[in-house]
Structure 1
Amino acid sequence: MSEVKTENKKSKVGVTIIVVLLLIIIGGGGFMWYKMQALNAGASQNSKIEEGKFGLNEIIVNLADEGGKKYIKIKPVLGYNSSNKELEGEFATKDHVLRDITIAILRGKTSKDLNPKGEEELKKEMLQKLNPVLDKGKLTNVYFTDFLIQ
C-alpha cells in the first residue's frame, strides 16, 4: 500500500511539474506576442508621418562609359517630412545646387553601375550628398519617376 501512495505522489509531482512548465511556456509566449504587438503599433504610428515630395526637373547626363555614348535621363523626386515647412521653402532657393550635385554624381557612373542594385546605391549616395547642403531639415528618401539609360 505504501508503494501505491509513493507512486501516486510521484505521479502527482510529475503532472504538477508538467503543468507548471506549460504555464511558463504559454505565459512567455503571450508576453512575447504582447511586446511584438506594442512594437508594431509604435512602428505604424511612426510611419503615419506624411511624406512631402519635391521633384527636381528632368536631368539628362552622359555616363562615364568608355566612348561616352551612353546617357541617362532621370527625374528624381526628393522625399522629406512634410510638416517641415521651412525645408519646403529651402528647396526653391537651392534647386540649382541640388541639381548640380545630382548631375555630378551621375556623371561619375557607368551604365553597369546603374543596375537595379546600383539604383538603390545611387539613392543612398544622393541622400548622403544632398542632405549636407540643406540647412532647414533632411531628406528621407529619393524616388525616380523616370529612369532611362540609353
Structure 2
Amino acid sequence: MNIFPTKELKFKLIDDQAETLNRLNRRTEKSENLTSQHTDKSFRGIINGNEFKLISTTLGKGAFCVMTGTIESDRGNVNVEIHLVFRILLGAFLCFPIVAILIAILTGKEEPNPIFILVVIGQILVIRYAFIGLAFKFLSRESLNKLRDVLDFEWIKN
C-alpha cells in the first residue's frame, strides 16, 4: 500500500515528436520551481529534450499534481504524483489522529482502550482514501486532460 497515490500512463502521439515537443514548449512557462502562479500558459515546469516535469497553471489546485514523463518518436509516458510540499502537509494531516489519541492518553483525559486503536486506524484510512485519494483522482484527471489537449495524443489501454 502506498501512502500517497500515483498514476503511470502511456500514450500514443497523433503528430510526430518534434511537433508535439514544439506544442509543449509553446504552452509551458519555464520554471525551475514548480509553484502555482497566474500565467496565460497551460503549464509551468521544466522541459529537457524529450523529458518534462510539469504542473498545471490552474490557480489553487494546479500545483497539487506533478507530471513527469518522456515523449519518444511515436509514444510517451507520464507519471503523476502529489507535489512534495503537499505530501509533507498531507503526511502531517495523516498523523493528527495518532497525535490526538496520544495527547488524550498522556494527559489523562482518556484511559488506554483497544477501541481507540481501531478508531485511529479508521480515521487514517478515511483521510487517506476519502480525502487524499479522491482529491488526487479528480485533480490528476484534470491535469492529464489538459496535457492531452495540449500534446494531442491518445491513451494506450493497459
State TM-score, norm by structure 1.
Answer: 0.28
Structure number with greater CO (CA < 8 Å, separation at least 6) is 2
Task: Return the structure number with greater strand share.
Answer: 2
- Normalising by the residue count of structure 2, what TM-score does the alignment of the two structures yield? 0.27
